[in-house]
C-alpha cells in the first residue's frame, strides 16, 4: 500500500503508464500490487478494467526488468488486436514495441516482430506452435497474462504454454484474468493447478472497493406464456421423449428422466461414452447398438424441443422436414423412421400448418414491445440467442419494424451458414460502436471479451445453464452508464430451468473461490514435483533429440506431447511420412477412421510403397480403439496383413495420441542416441509424368486401382474418350462390371452441387 500512497501524492504516476491516460481505481491498484508478488487469478466482472490491471502489472515488471518481455494471450485475433490497441494508448513504450502476433503472420515475420517487441499480444495457438517449433524462447519473458483464463482446462493451449513458461523463464510471473472461472470446484481447481496460481483476487459488483465504480445494472425477468399450439406440440414431444429418457436412465447413461433437467450436453456425453465402449468389441452386443440408436433419436428430440421453445413453429417445421429426409435414407435411425410415420408426427405437422402465418414465437411480440419502450435516441441493444437461425429470423423481423439491426455470429460454418470472417466481425462491431446499427443480434461469439463500451440494454432471448456465459452476457452493458438486462423466459420450459441454473451456479462460484483462496497450496501440491521431473528430462539426453514433423500434424496432441518430453520439433512439408526420426526410420500415422478411408480409396498402399522406397525401416502407426469403424472387419484385417506381409512394414497399434508420442520418443532415442544415426528427410516426390497424372485421376474413383486405370487408358487412349463412353462400352474393359461401369459413367456426368 506504500506504493499506492506514493502514487496518490505524486499525481498519478505509475511506471510506463502515460500521465492522465487512465483513471486510477483503488481496487485495480490493490489487485496489481497483490499480483506482482505471486501468480494470481483475477476474477472481476466484465467492464471493470482487467486490461488496465494487466497494464499496471506490466509497467511494474518492465520497469524492474529492463530487458524483459511481457505476453498477453487472448483466445481470438480481434481480442488480441483490441488488447494491443489499449496498451499502445496508455503505455509510454514506443508503439513499435507493442505488437500483435497471430497465425496470419508468416513464421519468419513473427520471429522478427518478437525480437523488437517488449509487449506481445498473441493468440494461444500461435504461441504454442512457435514454442514447439523453437522459433523463440520464453527465457526473458517476465510476465504472461492469460485472458479469459476459464479456458485453461483439458488440452487448451493455455495449459501447455503455462507449463513451458514456468520451465523456461528465468523470472516467471503469471496473471490470469476472467469474469467467471465457472461454478464447479473441480474446474476452478484445475484452472489454478494448470496456471500455477498461488493467489486469487475476487471482486463482485458488491465488493466495497468496487461498488463506487460500478454502473447500476437493472435485471428484469419477463415470463412469456407459450400459446396453445406451442403447448400442444411441446406436450407431444415431451411424451415421446420421456419414454426414452426413462430407459436411458435405467441403463445408467443419464442421471434424470426429466426433460427439463436433461440437457443436450448430457446426451452427447452419454453418446461419447457409449461409442468408446463399442470400440472395445469386434462384434458389439446388440443391446449396446440399440442404446446408441436411442441416444441418437433422443438427441434429435431434444433439439426439436429447444427449437420449438426458442425459435417457434417455423424453425421446428424446417427441422421436421430435415428429419423426414434423414428417415428416408437407407440405414437411417430405426426409431426415427417409426416416429416420422406415427400419429404423433402427423399431429405435430398439422398444428404447425395451421399456425404458419402467426408470429414465429410469443417472445418476438415481447421483444418488440421491450425495444419500443427501452431503445431511445442514441441508445443501443444487444440481443443474445443460442441459434444462428434465430439471429437471421430476428434480424429480418427487426428490420421490418424499422430498427438499424445486424447479426453477429462466429466464423465456423454451420449447416447453410458460412459464418463471418474476423474482418467482417471487426467491421460490424465498429459500425455498432459508431451508431450505424442500434441493435446487434448475436450468438455466443459476442459474449467473450468484445469491448462494447456503450450498450444500454442486453436481452437474453434464450438462456443457457452456464454461470460463465450468464456473467459474460450481463457484462456487455453498464460499462459507462447505467444498463439494463432483460431475460425472456418461456414459462414452464427448459428456458426457465436454465435461467435458475445459471443464477445458482453464479452464487456457487463465489463460494468456491472464497474457499480456494485459503487452500491453493494443497491444489498445487504435486504439480511442482512433476515440473521438476520434466526440467530434468529437458536438461538430459532427450533434449538433444530431433523429430521432423509434417506441417499438417503440428496441431495434433502428439506434437504437444513430444514437446513436453523436450524433443526438438522441426516442422516441414513432408512428401513421405508424418514423422521422421532418422535417416532410416519414418512413421506414417493414421487415425483409425482415416486408415479405413485410405483402404477404400487405396491410398494406404500408395503411401506404403513410397515409404518403402524412401526409408529402410518405415513404420505405420494406427491410432484408435479396436476395429469398430463401420466397415467390414475382413477388409481391415486384409489391409493390415498386406502392409505387414506384402510391403514388409511393421504396424503398431496405439489407443491415444499420448501412447503414439511415447513410441515416437522411444524410436528417436534408439535411432539417434543408441545407433548414432542422423535425421534426414528422404523421398521427395518427383513431378508426375502426364501418364502418371492420368492414372492418378482415374484411380481417385472408388473401385478403380492403377491396374484398371491403365486398362481403361489402353482401350480408350484419353480420359476424354472414357468420359464420353457409354456404360456398355466401359464394361468391355476386363475387370469392370456393370456396377463399377455405372459409377465411372456417373462420375464424369454428375452435375456438381456445392454444399451451401
- pLDDT greater at residue 526 or residue 264: 264
> How far apart are alpha carbons 654 and 381 in whole angstroms?
52
The pLDDT, as a whole number, for residue 398 is: 92
Go through the chain and tell me how many residues it has: 756
> How far apart are alpha carbons 420 and 113 in whole angstroms?
28
446 pLDDT more than 70? no
> How far apart are alpha carbons 499 and 260 in whole angstroms?
12
Q: In angstroms, what is the C-alpha Rg of the chain? A: 30
Cell of 165: 513458461
pLDDT band of 445, cuts 50, 70, 90: low
CA-based end-to-end distance of the chain: 60
> How far apart are alpha carbons 293 and 272 in whole angstroms?
13
Is there a contact between 279 and 626 (Cβ–Cβ < 8 Å)?
A: yes
What distances in angstroms separate CA 428 from CA 84, 584, 611, one per listed residue? Answer: 20, 54, 50
480 pLDDT more than 60? no
326 pLDDT more than 90? no
The pLDDT, as a whole number, for residue 632 is: 67
C-alpha closest to that of 400 among 353, 433, 364: 364
C-alpha closest to that of 253 among 293, 290, 291: 291
Listed in sequence order, the residues at least 6 apart from 448 whose beta carbon sits closer than 8 Å to its beta carbon are: 75, 76, 79, 148, 472
DSSP E strands: which ranges in 561-702?
Answer: 568-572, 579-580, 586-591, 619-623, 651-654
Please, what are the domains in the chain?
2-213 (3.40.50.300), 228-310+313-354 (1.20.1320.20), 365-491 (3.40.50.300), 540-674 (3.40.50.10130), 690-749 (1.10.150.20)
The pLDDT, as a whole number, for residue 532 is: 58
31 pLDDT more than 70? yes
> How far apart are alpha carbons 65 and 62 in whole angstroms?
5
Written as one string, the DSSP assignment of 348-387 is HHHHHHHTTTS-S-HHHHHHHHHHHHH--TT--EEEE-S-
Mean pLDDT score of the chain, rounded to an integer? 83
pLDDT band of 533, cuts 50, 70, 90: low
pLDDT band of 540, cuts 50, 70, 90: low
- pLDDT greater at residue 508 or residue 81: 81
668 pLDDT more than 80? yes
**DSSP 8-state secondary structure symbol assigned to residue 602:** T
Q: Of 136-150, 170-184, 410-424, which range is least confident? A: 410-424
> How far apart are alpha carbons 153 and 159 in whole angstroms?
7
User: Exposure string (b/e) for 579-615, b if CB count within 10 Å is 16 or more?
Assistant: bbbbbbbbbbbbebebbbebbebbbbbebbebbbebb
pLDDT in tens, 217-235: 677 888 888 888 888 999 9
The pLDDT, as a whole number, for residue 161 is: 96
Q: 437 exposed, middle or buried (CB, 10 Å; 0-12, 13-18, 19+)?
A: buried
> How far apart are alpha carbons 624 and 644 in whole angstroms?
19
Percent of the chain with pLDDT over 70: 85
Once rounded to an integer, what is the mean pLDDT over residues 355-372? Answer: 80
Is there a contact between 211 and 279 (Cβ–Cβ < 8 Å)?
A: no
Q: Of 264-268, 315-319, 529-533, 542-546, which range is least confident? A: 529-533
pLDDT band of 582, cuts 50, 70, 90: very high
666 pLDDT more than 80? yes
**DSSP 8-state secondary structure symbol assigned to residue 669:** I
Provide the sign of the torsion angle of the four alpha carbons 567, 568, 571, 576, taken in this order. negative
Cell of 729: 462400352
Place of cell 501440491: 525
The distance of Cα 323 from the centroid of its chain, to the nearest Å, equals 27
Listed in sequence order, the residues at least 6 apart from 548 whose beta carbon sits closer than 8 Å to its beta carbon are: 570, 572, 574, 579, 580, 679, 681
Compute the 3-state secondary structure of the chain and give helix, strand, coil in percent, each to the nearest 5: 50, 15, 35
The pLDDT, as a whole number, for residue 256 is: 80
The pLDDT, as a whole number, for residue 359 is: 61
- pLDDT greater at residue 386 or residue 98: 98
Cell of 659: 501412447
The pLDDT, as a whole number, for residue 72 is: 97
Neighbours of 290 (CB within 10 A): 14
Residue 136 DSSP SS3: coil
pLDDT band of 471, cuts 50, 70, 90: low
Sheet holding 619-623, edge to edge: 568-572, 546-550, 579-580, 586-591, 619-623, 651-654
Once rounded to an integer, what is the mean pLDDT over residues 274-285? Answer: 75
Once rounded to an integer, what is the mean pLDDT over residues 138-157? Answer: 94
pLDDT in tens, 81-119: 889 999 999 999 999 999 999 988 999 999 999 999 999
pLDDT band of 5, cuts 50, 70, 90: very low
Strand-pairing partners, residue 384, are 442, 460
The pLDDT, as a whole number, for residue 630 is: 53
Q: 511 exposed, middle or buried (CB, 10 Å; 0-12, 13-18, 19+)?
A: exposed
- pLDDT greater at residue 431 or residue 11: 431
**258-272, 429-443, 679-693, 718-732 — most confident range:** 718-732
324 pLDDT more than 50? yes
The pLDDT, as a whole number, for residue 569 is: 92
Element (H, E) at 221: strand 217-224
- pLDDT greater at residue 465 or residue 127: 127
676: left (phi > 0), else alpha (psi -120 to 50), else beta? left
The pLDDT, as a whole number, for residue 688 is: 66
Query: What's this model's pTM, rounded to 2 decimal places?
Result: 0.71
- pLDDT greater at residue 445 or residue 314: 314
Place of cell 424441443: 305
**DSSP 8-state secondary structure symbol assigned to residue 17:** B
Once rounded to an integer, what is the mean pLDDT over residues 722-748? Answer: 89
Once rounded to an integer, what is the mean pLDDT over residues 573-585? Answer: 92
pLDDT band of 467, cuts 50, 70, 90: very low
Listed in sequence order, the residues at least 6 apart from 688 whose beta carbon sits closer than 8 Å to its beta carbon are: 696
Listed in sequence order, the residues at least 6 apart from 23 whose beta carbon sits closer than 8 Å to its beta carbon are: none
Helical spans, DSSP H, in 169-285: 185-194, 228-250, 264-278
> How far apart are alpha carbons 667 and 586 in whole angstroms?
10
Once rounded to an integer, what is the mean pLDDT over residues 187-197? Answer: 91
Neighbours of 320 (CB within 10 A): 17
Is there a contact between 485 and 458 (Cβ–Cβ < 8 Å)?
A: yes
Strand-pairing partners, residue 116, are none
Once rounded to an integer, what is the mean pLDDT over residues 329-346? Answer: 86
> How far apart are alpha carbons 700 and 712 in whole angstroms?
14
The pLDDT, as a whole number, for residue 590 is: 92
pLDDT band of 684, cuts 50, 70, 90: low
Strand-pairing partners, residue 547, are 569
Once rounded to an integer, what is the mean pLDDT over residues 163-177? Answer: 94
Residue 230 DSSP SS3: helix
51 pLDDT more than 60? yes
Amino acid at each position: 500500500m506504500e506504493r499506492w500512497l506514493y502514487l496518490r501524492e505524486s499525481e498519478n504516476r505509475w511506471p510506463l503508464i502515460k500521465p492522465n491516460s487512465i483513471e486510477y481505481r483503488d481496487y485495480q491498484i490493490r489487485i496489481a500490487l497483490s499480483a506482482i508478488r505471486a501468480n494470481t487469478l483475477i476474477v472481476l466482472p466484465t467492464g471493470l478494467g482487467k486490461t488496465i490491471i494487466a497494464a499496471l502489472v506490466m509497467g511494474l515488471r518492465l520497469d524492474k526488468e529492463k530487458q524483459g518481455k511481457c505476453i498477453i494471450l487472448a483466445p481470438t485475433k480481434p481480442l488480441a488486436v483490441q488488447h494491443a490497441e489499449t496498451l499502445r494508448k496508455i503505455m509510454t513504450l514506443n508503439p513499435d514495441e507493442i505488437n500483435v502476433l497471430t497465425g496470419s503472420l508468416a513464421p519468419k515475420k513473427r520471429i522478427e516482430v518478437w525480437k523488437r517487441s517488449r509487449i506481445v499480444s498473441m493468440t494461444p495457438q500461435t504461441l504454442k506452435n512457435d514454442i514447439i517449433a523453437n522459433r523463440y524462447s520464453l527465457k526473458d519473458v517476465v510476465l504472461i497474462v492469460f485472458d479469459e483464463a476459464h479456458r485453461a482446462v483439458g488440452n487448451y493451449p493455455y495449459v501447455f504454454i503455462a507449463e513451458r513458461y514456468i520451465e523456461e523463464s528465468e523470472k516467471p510471473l503469471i496473471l490470469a484474468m476472467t469474469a467467471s472461472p465457472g461454478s464447479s470446484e473441480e474446474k476452478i481447481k484445475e484452472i489454478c493447478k494448470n496456471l500455477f496460481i498461488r493467489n486469487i483476487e475476487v471482486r463482485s459488483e458488491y465488493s466495497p472497493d468496487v461498488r463506487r465504480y460500478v454502473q447500476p445494472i437493472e435485471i428484469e425477468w419477463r415470463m412469456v406464456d407459450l400459446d396453445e399450439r406451442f403447448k400442444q406440440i411441446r406436450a407431444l414431444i415431451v411424451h415421446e421423449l420421456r419414454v426414452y429418457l426413462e430407459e436411458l436412465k435405467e441403463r445408467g447413461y443419464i442421471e434424470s428422466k426429466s426433460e427439463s433437467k436433461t440437457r443436450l450436453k448430457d446426451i452427447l456425453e452419454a453418446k461419447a461414452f457409449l461409442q468408446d465402449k463399442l470400440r472395445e468389441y469386434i462384434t458389439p452386443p446388440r443391446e449396446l447398438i440399440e442404446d446408441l440408436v436411442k441416444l441418437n433419436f433422443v438427441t434429435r428430440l431434444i433439439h426439436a424441443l429447444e427449437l420449438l421453445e426458442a425459435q417457434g413453429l417455423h424453425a421446428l417445421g424446417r427441422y421436421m422436414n430435415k428429419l423426414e429426409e434423414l428417415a428416408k435414407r437407407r440405414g437411417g435411425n430405426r426409431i426415427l423412421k417409426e416416429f416420422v410415420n406415427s400419429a404423433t408426427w402427423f399431429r405435430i405437422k398439422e398444428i404447425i400448418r395451421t399456425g404458419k402465418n402467426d408470429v414465429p414465437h410469443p417472445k418476438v411480440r415481447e421483444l418488440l414491445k421491450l425495444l419500443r419502450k427501452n431503445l431511445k435516441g442514441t441508445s443501443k441493444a444487444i440481443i443474445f440467442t443460442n441459434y444462428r437461425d434465430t439471429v437471421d429470423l430476428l434480424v429480418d423481423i427487426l428490420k421490418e419494424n424499422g430498427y438499424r439491426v445486424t447479426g453477429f455470429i462466429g466464423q465456423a460454418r454451420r449447416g447453410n451458414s458460412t459464418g463471418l470472417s474476423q474482418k467482417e466481425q471487426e467491421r460490424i462491431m465498429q459500425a455498432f460502436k459508431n451508431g450505424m446499427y442500434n441493435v446487434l443480434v448475436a450468438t455466443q461469439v459476442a459474449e467473450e471479451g468484445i469491448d462494447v463500451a456503450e450498450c444500454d440494454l442486453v436481452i437474453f432471448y434464450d438462456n443457457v445453464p452456464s454461470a460463465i456465459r450468464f456473467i459474460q452476457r450481463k457484462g456487455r452493458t453498464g460499462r459507462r452508464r447505467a444498463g439494463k438486462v432483460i431475460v425472456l423466459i418461456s414459462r414452464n420450459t427448459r428456458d426457465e430451468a436454465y435461467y435458475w441454473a445459471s443464477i445458482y451456479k453464479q452464487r456457487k462460484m463465489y463460494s468456491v473461490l472464497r474457499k480456494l483462496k485459503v487452500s491453493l497450496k494443497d491444489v498445487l501440491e504435486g504439480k511442482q514435483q512433476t515440473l521438476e521431473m520434466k526440467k530434468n528430462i529437458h536438461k538430459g539426453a532427450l533434449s538433444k533429440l530431433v523429430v521432423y514433423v509434417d506441417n499438417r500434424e503440428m496441431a495434433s496432441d502428439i506434437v504437444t506431447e513430444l514437446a513436453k518430453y523436450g524433443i526438438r520439433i522441426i516442422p516441414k512439408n513432408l512428401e513421405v511420412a508424418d514423422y521422421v526420426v532418422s535417416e532410416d526410420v519414418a512413421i506414417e500415422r493414421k487415425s483409425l477412421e482415416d486408415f479405413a478411408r485410405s483402404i477404400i480409396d487405396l491410398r494406404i498402399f500408395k503411401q506404403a510403397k513410397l515409404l518403402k522406397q524412401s526409408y529402410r525401416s518405415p513404420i505405420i502407426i494406427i491410432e484408435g480403439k479396436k476395429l469398430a469403424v463401420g466397415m467390414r472387419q475382413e477388409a481391415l484385417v486384409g489391409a493390415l496383413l498386406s502392409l505387414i506381409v506384402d510391403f514388409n512394414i511393421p504396424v503398431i497399434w496405439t489407443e491415444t495420441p499420448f501412447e503414439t508420442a511415447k513410441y515416437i520418443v522411444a524410436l528417436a532415442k534408439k535411432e539417434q542416441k543408441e545407433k548414432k544415426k542422423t535425421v534426414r528427410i528422404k523421398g521427395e516426390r518427383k513431378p508426375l509424368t502426364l501418364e502418371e497424372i492420368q492414372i492418378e485421376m482415374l484411380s481417385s474413383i472408388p473401385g478403380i486401382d492403377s491396374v484398371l486405370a491403365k486398362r481403361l487408358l489402353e482401350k480408350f487412349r484419353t480420359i476424354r474418350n472414357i468420359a464420353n463412353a457409354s456404360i456398355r462400352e466401359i464394361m468391355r474393359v476386363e475387370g469392370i462390371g456393370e456396377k463399377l461401369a455405372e459409377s465411372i459413367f456417373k462420375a464424369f456426368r454428375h452435375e456438381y452441387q456445392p454444399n451451401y
